[in-house]
């Protein structure tokens, strides 16, 4: 029976991905910064572990406790919308620590065992905002684009060891807490210089009636990456992400 370790499972895409793998009969190691036993159905194939991707000791403890990992899903992340000029360097560092450096650190912790076994899959969940420039998410977009770039380079490094890597790029989803969390971190809406632009931009985003992404779409894209050796490296997840990917070609 194969085992998947997923980061950021307390809600959203990570939680739905954990549910999907459980339903498919896999061993699931669902990691969370603050573990909760009540968000996933009870199963003897499920383990909930504490993992903060910004804490090296936490990563070591979780990987050691997980045992052999066949598939790693780097899903943990957060956004903090604001114009670049108004984004504090503390926030910039926090965005990169979680979205970029955390992905690198967890991957580095898991790769040795995959390389030794000459098998494994790493799936990095980034974002469809990397397909085209959007205002207010420049730092988040840069952090996710960095993961895209390092994943592409890593692919040829680990291929000789039988390890595959994929990038899943979700669109915008109203089903997860990501938007609400991002709104709490919104900065500059009352700023003298940027306030009007921000209010107009946010209103336009909220009024959008285009296609969106379901958490199920992301779980299915991750499943495809994990189980289909012929899957492409880049897999857009959600109708809007598929549309943006097509426009970017």
Separation between Cα atoms, residue 159 and residue 161, nearest integer Å: 5
- Cα–Cα distance, 144 to 101 (Å, whole number): 10
- Dihedrals phi, psi of 237, to nearest 5 degrees: -125, 115
Cα angle vertex 247, ends 244, 249, to 5°? 115
Report residue 3: phi and psi, to 5°.
-120, 135
Q: Per this entry, what is the length of the chain?
A: 249
Tokens encoding 181: 């969390």
Q: Which active-site residues does the annotation give? A: 140
Q: Minimal CA–CA distance to 71: which of 217, 232, 219, 227?
A: 227
CB 166 within 8 A of CB 233: yes
Rounded CA separation 170/149 (Å): 17
Contact 80, 187 (CB under 8 A): yes
Q: Is the CB of residue 245 less than 8 Å from the CB of residue 129?
A: no
Instruction: Assess contact for 69 and 113: CB atoms under 8 A.
Output: yes
Q: Please, which residues bridge with residue 31 across strands?
A: 49
Distance, in Å, from the CA atom of 223 to the CA atom of 123, rounded to the nearest integer, reads 9
């Amino acid at each position: 029976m194969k085992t998947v370790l997923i980061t950021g499972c307390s809600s959203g895409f990570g939680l739905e991905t954990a549910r999907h793998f459980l339903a498919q009969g896999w061993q699931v190691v669902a990691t969370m910064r603050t573990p909760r036993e009540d968000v996933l159905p009870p199963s003897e194939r499920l383990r909930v572990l504490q993992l903060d991707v910004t804490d090296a000791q936490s990563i070591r403890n979780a990987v050691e406790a997980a045992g052999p990992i066949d598939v790693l899903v780097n899903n943990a992340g957060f956004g903090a919308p604001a114009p670049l000029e108004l984004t504090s360097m503390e926030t910039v560092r926090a965005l990169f620590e979680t979205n970029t450096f955390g992905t690198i650190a967890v991957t580095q912790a898991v790769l040795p065992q995959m390389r030794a076994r000459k098998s494994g899959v790493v799936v990095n969940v980034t974002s469809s905002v990397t397909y085209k420039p959007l205002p207010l998410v420049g730092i988040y977009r840069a952090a996710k684009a960095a993961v895209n770039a390092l994943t592409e380079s890593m692919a040829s490094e680990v291929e000789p060891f039988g390890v595959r890597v994929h990038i899943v790029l979700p669109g915008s989803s109203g089903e997860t807490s990501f938007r609400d969390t991002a709104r709490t971190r919104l900065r500059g809406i009352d700023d003298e210089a940027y306030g009007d632009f921000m209010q107009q931009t946010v209103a336009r985003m909220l009024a959008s009636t285009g296609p969106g992404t379901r958490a199920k779409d992301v779980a299915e894209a991750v499943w495809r990456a994990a189980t289909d050796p012929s899957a492409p490296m880049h897999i857009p997840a959600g109708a809007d992400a598929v549309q943006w990917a097509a426009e970017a070609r």
